[in-house]
Structure 1
């Protein structure tokens, strides 16, 4: 539950994939994953090399599987999406703790863009310091005790219209193989 890279200063209306594309092109310090590892991203990102999206058109969010009308994951797409969402949940929870702990982030006053950027980065650095120091912290303790902590506050993003076809095909194949392996492991 640590932040390993942040780009602050973009308006809230900027699409996540646009910010990511900018970060990849302009920050050599962006953490590159080893081959065969992937960043788990939501459906608002293109499915491209190194970034694994959920299957579209299948249940995805954890509450869809837990509510009264929900059912356990059925088939490889739902199983993959359930596990993908479960793993991504830590990201959403990290932002939830950040917003709970540093209330100024819920409505940054009309400071200059530069000051707002510094506030966001300072809050993230403080968040990481508390987590790394293993200090007793009420918000982290609540989050560690409840895997659904602040899950209801997550927000969905819209689909990105500009997807790289070749990367998408490759990542779709990888995603299908992972989903098949999950089904085979469950049946075996």
Structure 2
């Protein structure tokens, strides 16, 4: 009788071992999701004419868009004709990627047209495309070089290349 129970127990253990060997990988290691928080504190433009006209009209009418992993998580407009704007945007998005794409766009809106304002320090690029690593807290630029750490405000200034440019202050973190 003891031998029968031992044989049944061994066959059960053997069957379980076989099952776990053929179980799908996704069932064994679930994908972890992170909530990424992006804060855009302010944007400051250089004292150049954004639009022809008098001194007040030459200031930009700014708005900002923020994306996490391709999904727009924030849109904020600023008071008209301000060259220094406190946005105070704080928004969150979710991602399962190990390097989370974060995109920040700044625009000058006049009438029905919108023109990109350069906030990217790399030549020929206006939009700020960053990648955030939740495991290390590193914030990387398009070239993969570290530009900041999580929870710390940092400034990114557009190169300009003869166009409209600004400095934007932001921070990225995760929960």
Pick the structure with more strand per residue.
Answer: 2
The TM-score with structure 1 as length reference comes to 0.23
- Using CA pairs below 8 Å that are at least 6 residues apart, which structure has the higher relative contact order? 1
Q: Which has the larger radius of gyration?
A: 2
Pick the structure with more helix per residue.
Answer: 1
